[in-house]
Homo-oligomer: A and B are copies of this chain.
Amino acid sequence: MNSKNENLAMLCDFYEFTMGNGYLKNNLHNKNVYFDVFFRNIPDDGGFAIAAGLQQVIEYIEDLHFNEEDIEYFRSKNLFSDDFIDYLKNFHFTGDIYAVPEGTCIFPREPIMTIKAPAIEAQILETFVLLALNHQSLIATKANRIVRAAQGRAVLEFGSRRAQGADGAVKGARAAYIGGCAGTACTLTDELYGVPAGGTMAHAWVQMFDSEYEAFKAYCEIYPHNAVLLVDTYNTLKSGVPNAIRVFKEMLVPQGITNFAIRLDSGDISYLSKQARKMLDDAGLTTCKIVASNALDEHLIRDLIMQGAQVDTFGVGERMITSKSAPVFGGVYKLVAVEDEQGNIIPKIKLSENTAKITNPHFKKVYRLYDNETGKAIADEICLHDEVIDNTKPHVIFDPMATWKQKTLTNFTVRELQVPIFKNGKRVYDSPSIDKIRDYCKREVNSLWDEVKRFENPHRYYVDLSQKLWDIKKELCVANSMK
């Protein structure tokens, strides 16, 4: 994000290029391969995560190329063949991509994106695809937790200054909005993505004037309809709130303006907000809102509400923009199949001594099954790419880690989660507007049972394998463990 060459094609682990060069040398580069993106653990031990970042993946792939500087860079390494360097010069993506739309509730081990492409291409995409999906899914998931804790009160994203880099701030604020935030302090996120940005004053504004009263007065003179006065520069209850009340009554109430607010940015928010609420109400300013912003997260917000804190809007900074309590979303990118010369899809597996870490092989589809009576999601089922679930017949699902745990479904609806994004290198999907994504996310979260949504010990949502997929997986485990 600066004036220098920052071609995102180069935001790629070096080994993708050493492997790519090797595939070319071994004539494997045009072999079609299938990679799945999936994750294993839900941040904060939550019951679900929210997918985000697809729009950035699409933009990245559409722009994917290597420029002259990049080519020079590779040449200078004396590691890559001329053939490979020529290949990179003409590089563009030619494969297929399927993915769950942004805002979808997602669960461990199911493919949230599937890439079918010639080997080198699929490899070159890996780093950025993971980075974009991991980052934004992390923040959307965290933001949604915080928004749910606020129980209908607005949550604003205030974290740019503590974000991990420029993109951390800008795309983080985008993801936070998808997760349900009402807006952001980040101006660039508004300009680029239409996420509503807002903000009024910092302590410096108050300090720039001879007194707090004059600072508040000057502000209300310029922004009578946007007055959120920061009341903790000197002393919240002795100075800040009284000065705010005085200025609201002298300057805004006479004009019939009632949509003003105060902001608490330090101290005991529970106590201060209750005292401030009483002072405001006693002064007749019952419409005055209270904004609070001081190292908040879902747990503190829930506690504040339980304590009866009088807060209407929460501004959340570092603990949301970095997902402080769980700052990593562990999406991985695993080879699940290759095509042979005849175009047959050969499933591939990655074993592990930890059975939960063994990958699900093959080109697959994910279906979500909904109970027709409640409209709630019951389970996801991972199937082979050409399997169809017939919802006119009873359908048996089973736990892949404990196959004797079975359930027969009747009266259910089936929805395929992944949608086509690229077909033969051409984009076949339009990202919805950010507000549509946000609304969809809200509906998605509403389709989950409360038990899946609670913070402590949430119910583990079922992600099952079809019988056919399970059989293939078992077979491959046996075959490969003997290699």
CB distance from A9 to the nearest CB of B (A): 9
Complex interface: chain B residues within 8 A of A4 (CB) = 59, 192
Inter-chain CA distance A160–B13, complex, in Å, is 7
The answer to whether residues A13 and B234 also contact, given A56-B2, A166-B8 and a CB cut-off of 8 A, is: no
Residues A165 and B160 in contact, CB atoms below 8 Å apart: no
Residues A131 and B204 in contact, CB atoms below 8 Å apart: no
**What sequence of 0s and 1s flags, for each residue 163-181 of chain A, a beta carbon within 8 Å of any chain B beta carbon?**
1111111111000000000
Inter-chain CA distance A119–B218, complex, in Å, is 16
Which 9 pairs between the two chains have the least Cβ-Cβ distance? A165-B167, A15-B199, A14-B199, A130-B161, A164-B164, A327-B327, A10-B188, A164-B168, A165-B168
**Option from B8, B10, B188, B197 in Cβ contact (under 8 Å) with A2:** B8
**What sequence of 0s and 1s flags, for each residue 44-77 of chain A, a beta carbon within 8 Å of any chain B beta carbon?**
0000000000001001100100000110010000
A85 at the interface (CB under 8 A from B): no
The answer to whether residues A2 and B199 also contact, given A166-B167, A327-B322 and a CB cut-off of 8 A, is: no
A219 at the interface (CB under 8 A from B): yes
**Option from B126, B158, B234, B481 in Cβ contact (under 8 Å) with A480:** B234
A17 at the interface (CB under 8 A from B): yes
A105 at the interface (CB under 8 A from B): no
**Option from B25, B63, B201, B208 in Cβ contact (under 8 Å) with A18:** B201
Inter-chain CA distance A130–B168, complex, in Å, is 13
Complex interface: chain B residues within 8 A of A302 (CB) = none
Residues B22 and A219 in contact, CB atoms below 8 Å apart: yes
Complex interface: chain B residues within 8 A of A13 (CB) = 158, 160-161, 185-187, 199
A154 at the interface (CB under 8 A from B): no
Which of A2, A235, A334 counts the most B-chain CB atoms under 10 A from its CB? A2
Pick out which of these stretches binds chain B: A275-283, A346-354, A389-397, A461-469.
A346-354
CB distance from A115 to the nearest CB of B (A): 11
Residues B207 and A160 in contact, CB atoms below 8 Å apart: no
Residues B135 and A12 in contact, CB atoms below 8 Å apart: no
Complex interface: chain B residues within 8 A of A56 (CB) = 2
Pick out which of these stretches binds chain B: A26-34, A373-381, A437-445.
A26-34
A237-287 residues at the B interface, CB under 8 angstroms: 239, 266-267
**What sequence of 0s and 1s flags, for each residue 94-133 of chain A, a beta carbon within 8 Å of any chain B beta carbon?**
0000000000000000000000000100010011101110
A6 at the interface (CB under 8 A from B): yes
8 pairs across A/B with beta carbons < 8 Å?
A6-B166, A10-B188, A15-B185, A19-B202, A23-B208, A165-B168, A212-B483, A235-B483
**Option from B119, B350, B352, B481 in Cβ contact (under 8 Å) with A208:** B119
Question: Chain A residues in contact with chain B, CB under 8 A?
Answer: 1-8, 10-19, 21-23, 25-26, 28, 31, 33, 35, 56, 59-60, 63, 69-70, 73, 79, 119, 123, 126-128, 130-132, 134-135, 138-139, 158, 160-172, 185-188, 190-192, 197-205, 207-209, 211-212, 218-219, 221-223, 226, 233-235, 239, 266-267, 318-319, 322-324, 327-331, 333-335, 338, 348, 350-353, 357, 480-481, 483
Residues B223 and A18 in contact, CB atoms below 8 Å apart: yes
Inter-chain CA distance A357–B295, complex, in Å, is 14
CB distance from A274 to the nearest CB of B (A): 17
| Residue of B whose beta carbon sits closest to that of A352 | B266
CB distance from A98 to the nearest CB of B (A): 19
**Option from B79, B119, B219, B319 in Cβ contact (under 8 Å) with A226:** B79
Inter-chain CA distance A475–B212, complex, in Å, is 19
| Residue of B whose beta carbon sits closest to that of A166 | B167
Complex interface: chain B residues within 8 A of A16 (CB) = 199, 202
Complex interface: chain B residues within 8 A of A18 (CB) = 199-201, 223, 226
CB distance from A183 to the nearest CB of B (A): 9
Seed contacts A266-B353, A318-B328; 12 additional CB < 8 Å A-B pairs: A2-B56, A7-B188, A10-B187, A23-B208, A35-B204, A131-B169, A161-B331, A162-B328, A168-B168, A266-B357, A318-B330, A324-B328
Residues A59 and B2 in contact, CB atoms below 8 Å apart: yes
Inter-chain CA distance A28–B215, complex, in Å, is 12
Which of A22, A165, A187 counts the most B-chain CB atoms under 10 A from its CB? A165
Complex interface: chain B residues within 8 A of A12 (CB) = 160, 186-188
**Option from B233, B239, B330, B338 in Cβ contact (under 8 Å) with A162:** B330
CB distance from A63 to the nearest CB of B (A): 6
Complex interface: chain B residues within 8 A of A318 (CB) = 328, 330
Residues B185 and A160 in contact, CB atoms below 8 Å apart: no
**Option from B2, B70, B123, B190 in Cβ contact (under 8 Å) with A204:** B123
